[in-house]
Amino acid sequence: MNDTCLIRPDDQRGFSLIEMMIVMIIIGLLASLIGPKLFGQLGKAKTKAAKAQIEMLMATLDAYRLDVGSYPDQNQGLEALVNNPGLDDWNGPYLKKEKVPLDPWKHPYIYRKPGQHGDVDISSLGADNRSGGEGEDQDVNSWD
């Protein structure tokens, strides 16, 4: 028989327990250094996504106003962008996905007509879903 086909106990290859533990410690240290920075970026990304969605909703409301002659009233809200509130001049749906998106924290956007800062206001209350806040909890508004 060919000697190269036989496996002898002294020819076994692999990682020792110590080597595996050293690698795990190194991975843990890297994760503890990089992890907090990545999670901080996630909050900023959600805030930027909320700003982009609000800008998109405002542009869509402008298209609605051009067709219908006015923005949806408070009772119709943003839902008027996807479902005809009974108007002859409605040329929707005005949103591609045919539903009003939730903010990045899975809460509905707040729509006000008349707005306090413009004809209409749209806002998100951030991660905590409460007025005010800092960082990821800060409000995102159409007038900012």
Q: What is the pLDDT of residue 135?
A: 82
* In the chain, domain spans: 46-141
Sheet holding 140-141, edge to edge: 110-112, 121-124, 140-141
> Mind listing the pLDDT tens digit for each residue in 29-87?
887 777 666 666 667 889 999 999 999 999 999 999 999 999 999 999 999 999 999 99
Which CATH superfamily includes the segment(s) 46-141? Answer: Glycoprotein, Type 4 Pilin (3.30.700.10)
The percentage of residues in the chain with a pLDDT greater than 70, rounded to a whole number, is 85
Q: What is the pLDDT of residue 3?
A: 53
Which of these ranges, 2-11, 39-48, 101-110, has the smallest mean pLDDT?
A: 2-11
pTM equals 0.71
Q: What is the pLDDT of residue 97?
A: 82
Cβ(135)–Cβ(45) below 8 Å? no
**Across all residues in the chain, what is the average pLDDT?**
86
DSSP count for the chain of H helices, then E strands: 1, 3
